[in-house]
Amino acid sequence: MTDRRTVRFYQADVFTDTVFGGNPVAVIPEADGLDVWEMQKIAREMNLSETVFVLAPTDPSAEYRLRFFTPTREIPFAGHPVLGAFYVLAHLGVLRLQEPVTRVHQETSVGVFPLDLTVRDGLVRHIMMGQPKPEFLGMVEPLRDLFEVAKAVSVPKTQITGTGLPVEVVSTGFPVMIVPVRTLTAVSKASPNIGLLNSVCEQHKAQGLMLFTTVTVEERSTVHTRMFASPVGVVEDPATGSASGALGAYLVKHGVVDVGPTTEIICEQGYEVDRPSRLTVHVHSDDDEIQYVNVGGQAVLVIEGVVTF
């Protein structure tokens, strides 16, 4: 009889300070020794938008290495799993926390990036993570392609064209199609046509599509968003750090928000799936050029357990 293996896991809700809000992520804090097949099987069993595996770094400038899996495939980078992973590591006492800010470096397949953990009374209160420098990968043109985008999410085409803003693919590690929409009602009523959405994303080399409007539920928010990522196995994501970073860069580039050396953008997401989320985006610019983006928020621990296989 073959010996069975056990792996501890933790589930955190990210971009919220309330249990059952935000975006859940499964964290495997001791993943060294797992092969890719096992990681994918565990992610499929967790059946969340992402499962993150924490490993020893291969780059000496990083303290930890992270790998990200959806239920169907590995992806190069994701935002909320980073916050969830380091919140769990802090909870376990693996991280040596120093007040008021503890800086650590994560290694991913797209590079090494810093995180700043705000610490008060020995507890992590907020995490901000660095993301790769934004890449603007192309606008969706001509008009017939915009109409296909509108059909893919069941939004009237005039709701998109009436904004006067482009549909554009932007990446801070995860290429996402940014789609402006005039009204909150249109965003809330949007419904993805999975086959068409996947086709549109494939045509424009995006791995997901984010709708946004500047009409918000909460007065303190800058934008209201929804994220459809069926190309990587996630129909709708309740809070998306990587896409929010790309959106922040888009908003600054196109002058949708007042721009300064550090532009703060508050994204609300997840309301349509009953998981309200709040994401803070900082876009850092120098001489009218975007240099880097940080995305952050809070997290809460919800579940801990063991996977036996």
Per residue in 218-257, pLDDT (tens digit) is 999 999 999 999 998 889 999 999 999 999 999 999 999 9
Statement to judge: residues 87 and 151 lie in one domain: no
Percent with pLDDT over 70 in the chain = 99
Statement to judge: residues 146 and 285 lie in one domain: yes
**Residue 52 and residue 65 in contact, taking contact as beta carbons nearer than 8 Å:** no
Residue 153 sits at the vertex; the CA angle it makes with 150 and 154, to the nearest 5 degrees, is: 75
pLDDT beyond 80 at 1: no
pLDDT of residue 173: 87
Helix (H, G, I), strand (E, B) or coil at 65: strand
> Which residue segment(s) compose the domain that 200 sits in?
135-296
Residue located via tokens 């020995």: 122
In tens, the pLDDT along 17-40 reads 999 999 999 999 999 999 999 999
Cα 251 to the center of its chain, rounded Å: 17
pLDDT of residue 132: 85
Helix (H, G, I), strand (E, B) or coil at 280: strand
Residue 162 covered by a domain: yes
Say how far apart CA 306 and CA 91 lie, in whole Å: 17
Statement to judge: residues 236 and 275 lie in one domain: yes
In tens, the pLDDT along 83-95 reads 999 999 999 999 9
Statement to judge: residues 156 and 290 lie in one domain: yes
Statement to judge: residues 281 and 302 lie in one domain: no
Residue type, 98: Q
Statement to judge: residues 14 and 26 lie in one domain: yes
Statement to judge: residues 119 and 144 lie in one domain: no
Average pLDDT over residues 125-139: 93
Residue 67 covered by a domain: yes
> Please, what is the average pLDDT of the chain?
95
Residue 1 covered by a domain: no
Residue 241 covered by a domain: yes
Helix (H, G, I), strand (E, B) or coil at 302: strand
Residue type, 273: V
Q: In which band, very low, low, confident or very high, does the pLDDT at 216 lie, cut at 50, 70 and 90?
A: very high
In tens, the pLDDT along 138-150 reads 999 888 889 999 9
- For residue 18, the 8-state DSSP code is S
**Residue 263 and residue 252 in contact, taking contact as beta carbons nearer than 8 Å:** yes
**Residue 152 and residue 197 in contact, taking contact as beta carbons nearer than 8 Å:** yes
Residue 216 covered by a domain: yes
Cα 71 to the center of its chain, rounded Å: 16
Statement to judge: residues 191 and 68 lie in one domain: no
pLDDT of residue 206: 97
Residue 93 backbone phi and psi in degrees, to 5: 80, 10
Statement to judge: residues 291 and 144 lie in one domain: yes
CA 70 vs CA 51, 91, 93, 293: distances in Å? 6, 24, 27, 24
Residue 15 sits in a domain of what CATH number?
Answer: 3.10.310.10
Residue 170 covered by a domain: yes
| Marked catalytic residue, from 38, 45, 50, 74 | 50
Statement to judge: residues 182 and 279 lie in one domain: yes
Residue 271 sits at the vertex; the CA angle it makes with 265 and 277, to the nearest 5 degrees, is: 45
Respond yes or no: is residue 50 known to be catalytic.
yes
How is 66-133 classified by DSSP, letter by letter? Answer: EEEE-SS-EES--SHHHHHHHHHHHHTT-S---SSEEEEEEEETTEEEEEEEEEETTEEEEEEEEEPP
Say how far apart CA 17 and CA 84 lie, in whole Å: 12
Indicate the Cα dihedral angle 87, 293, 188, 220, nearest 10°: 80
Residue 294 backbone phi and psi in degrees, to 5: -115, 145
In tens, the pLDDT along 247-304 reads 999 999 999 999 999 999 999 999 999 999 999 999 999 888 999 999 999 999 999 9
**Residue 128 and residue 280 in contact, taking contact as beta carbons nearer than 8 Å:** yes
pLDDT of residue 2: 63
Average pLDDT over residues 164-178: 96
Q: Tell me how many domains the chain contains.
A: 2
Average pLDDT over residues 175-204: 97
Statement to judge: residues 229 and 271 lie in one domain: yes
pLDDT of residue 294: 95
pLDDT of residue 10: 98
Cα 241 to the center of its chain, rounded Å: 3
pLDDT beyond 60 at 96: yes
Statement to judge: residues 149 and 291 lie in one domain: yes
